[in-house]
Structure 1
Amino acid sequence: MARLSPLMAVPLVVFTAFAGLALIGLQREDPNSLPSALAGRQAPAVTVTPLGDKPGFGDADLRAGDVSLVNYWASWCAPCRVEHPKLERLAGEGLAIYGVNYKDKPGNALGFLEELGDPYTAIGADESGRMALEWGVYGVPETYVIDGKGEIVLRVAGPITDRVLESTIRPAIEAARAR
């Protein structure tokens, strides 16, 4: 009978370790969630420039007493197209959504809204990406649930899917309203 070399066991050990880590990762509550250092803190300053003739917004709008969303998006962002109907649904339900157009050309951004609809209560452009840095944005789309006092309740990195909307965003909105 032939003896097996200890080196032959290395691939099996590596595979087992990788499979174990993958299993742990899949059991996380929301694999798309990223921690936010800002959760539970006041939203950073709003420093946007006007986008066309759309109404703009500022810090006071996030502290006006109503729960709202701040949504970072761009016309060049394919996942932003995917989440857009969910934003329109929330806006249709009366939720204030403030849009931050991220590093985009104004004409392209306005064309995107003309094509898909405009779910935003107010909107501004972050052409340099400076505001996004202050908010800790990793990329677009990214959405924040803000309570009526301007505190960040939840951060969602990536597109809002039906699953994320129902299991994460709606409960956060209700919790923020209950405060």
Structure 2
Amino acid sequence: MSAQVPQKSVLGRRLLLGAPLAVLALVGGGWALMLRRMAGGNFDPHSLPSQLIGKKVPDFSLPGLDGGVAMTGAELQNPGRPMLVNFFASWCVPCLEDAPMLNKLAKNGLPIWGITYKDKQADTQRFLSQNGNPYARIAVDQPGRVAIDWGVYGVPETYLIDAAGLVHWRFAGALTQRVVDEDLTPLLRRIGA
């Protein structure tokens, strides 16, 4: 006499075995789509959406490296000319790669305001003395709360703000010549810089 396996038990085993295969198929399909979009130039894994694009700079007030108020959101909500705001830190390896391009942009007359992210004052000073200081003003966001309001995922992150204080662009990662030539420069021309 053979024992019969209940119908529910067989169905349960099939589902249990099929679930990992279904997940694997979904992941594989997503991976293939991402690779196809990257090959076609339609996907940049470094570009992350920002909720600030097209909006005014958030309200904030931050101290400077040597104390006192160094920067407020109100100042950036009507700066009078296009400018960059760059979140950086001395402990950030990509910030080392970012520094030469920021220095070049500043030398070419583009105002850049810097916000140190969760960094110590002495470390920030050392970083600036070793890598140049492209910043017209520097503020300290030690707890990282202002970075949260801006939607910062990590440092470096750079934001382009127009003369009226609207955020037009955000770039996560070190600025390269390609990014400046293909993304930033055309935007600066369009907003009248």
TM-score by length of 1: 0.85
Aligned to 1:101: 116
Q: CA RMSD in A?
A: 2.4
Deviation beyond 6 Å, 4+ runs, structure 1? none
Taking a change above 3 Å as real, the CA distance of residues 150 and 20 of structure 1, as seen in their structure-2 partners, is closer
SS of 2:116's equivalent? Answer: strand
Q: Say how many residue pairs are matched.
A: 168
Give runs of aligned pairs for residues 156-175 of structure 1, distance below 5 A. Answer: 156-175=171-190
Larger radius of gyration: 2
Taking a change above 3 Å as real, the CA distance of residues 66 and 54 of structure 1, as seen in their structure-2 partners, is farther
Aligned to 1:141: 156
Aligned to 2:35: 22
Aligned to 2:46: 32
Query: Quick check: 1:47–1:126 contact (8 Å CA) kept in 2?
Result: no
Give runs of aligned pairs for residues 1-150 of structure 1, distance below 5 A. Answer: 14=25, 17=29, 18-26=31-39, 27-28=41-42, 30-52=44-66, 56-62=70-76, 63-150=78-165
Equivalents in 1 of 2:188, 2:50: separation in Å?
A: 17
SS of 2:61's equivalent? Answer: coil
Aligned letter for 1:131? Answer: V
